[in-house]
Amino acid sequence: MLAHLERPAGKAPGISRIVSDFGFTYFANGLIGFIFSATGPVAIILSVGTQGGLTQAELASWVFGVFFINGLITIAMSWRYKTPLGFAWTIPGTVLVGPALQHLSFAEVIGAFYATSLLILVMGASGWVRRLMSALPMPIVMGMVAGVFLRFGLDLVRALHSDLAIAGPMVAAFLLLSANAALGRRIPPVIGALLVGAVVIALLGRVDTSTLGAFGFAQPLVQAPAWSVGALVELVVPLAITVLVVQNGQGVAVLKAAGHEAPVNMAAVVSGIGAAASAMVGAVSTCLTGPTNALLTSSGEHGRQYTAALTFGVFGVLFGLMAPTFTGLMLAAPREYIMVLGGLAMLRVLQGAFVASFGGGKFTLGALISLLVTIADISIMNIGAAFWGLVAGFAVSWLMEKRDFVTLANSN
């Protein structure tokens, strides 16, 4: 069974090679990826957990798990494969857990987390995941990815409308650094926007001090599972689909578009292991994240982008260890600041997703349907719209673009 797992192409880089490959651009990409993960997605965890009746200690343990454990996995995988492989947690899965917490105990939900980790592990070790990924036409997958990422571009426009005082200078700095190639090499455009935004926020006194807490280290809670047929039926299959098809599918597609070949089966196995470790401290399942990997590969030389993932992983480990402190710092910034950073960082990635979906002339109708269904953001049977976007796009293409499937089969 383990013969399906992809082996690294070469030796892992040594310290001297990592230092020589490292640079400000990759530090900036890793930092932006971390800021993205530590703001909006953390707010989703806090919202879901609070509405589900979790205690502050349980929430802190959840945040510790998704950052510390996935940070270690990111460092280990990116180092060994010398490829940017950013692992985080499933945001749609977190949202999916919200309704379950209204009628299930947290222990029952954790039991479902463990069962999900086993299913993901078996799927990865069997090799079924790579076969599934190869059967999905890339334009349809990238249509789904474009639908998921489109909201970041829309948030950028909305931030300009709702808070021009902060968003305007940030966008201006980004455009200036992007237009001036020599200056942009010294200061990456996104990091320039980040610094300008921070200065503007400080000058305007727009820091929400009520969210700032005292310095403190995380104190994770080891959670005991409870086994419930209702919880297993409601959560396991939807969570596994979310991780393997939606989240890992995004991650693989984003990395492939950036010229990286992700180890699909190994990523699934590691996601299963990470999901089990995360469940121990009451955290949702691990996945190969799409948005963060898009940020990690948004600029710089192809062969050096793994150092951005290492940076992201180190920040994740530190954040996990000091989750109470860093959460307060991140949530103290205005939401428009984060919206602009995410939107600017995603511009080129979103452009690439649209080109991959509609630029090749194959599966264009299926890609369009996948995009539209994903943007609609309607969940069915507790499974998010991104999955149904793939299903709808594939179904329409299968009916109306049969010649493209024949071409795809011949190319394989």
Give the ranges where 258-305 is alpha helix by DSSP (H): 264-280, 290-296
CB 358, CB 376: distance < 8 Å: no
pLDDT (tens, 9 = 90+) of the chain, 412 residues, equals 566 788 888 899 999 999 999 998 899 899 888 887 876 677 678 777 877 888 878 888 898 999 999 999 999 999 999 999 999 998 778 877 877 888 889 999 999 999 999 999 998 888 887 777 777 788 888 888 788 778 878 889 999 999 999 999 999 999 999 898 888 777 778 778 888 998 999 898 887 666 555 566 778 888 889 998 888 877 887 788 878 887 898 899 889 988 999 998 999 999 999 999 999 999 999 999 888 898 899 888 999 999 999 999 999 999 898 876 765 565 577 878 878 877 887 787 788 888 888 987 889 999 999 999 989 888 787 666 778 888 899 999 999 988 888 777 776 5
What's the domain range around 212?
2-411
Whole-angstrom distance, CA of residue 318 vs CA of residue 71: 9
Tokens 């919880």 correspond to 231
Going by their DSSP bridges, the two strands 87-89 and 286-288 should be labelled as: antiparallel
What is the model's pTM? Answer: 0.75
**Quick one: DSSP state of residue 283?**
-
How many domains does the chain divide into? 1
Report CA Rg, the chain.
21
Whole-angstrom distance, CA of residue 106 vs CA of residue 58: 10
Give, for 287, the enclosing helix (H) or strand (E): strand 286-288
**Quick one: DSSP state of residue 242?**
I
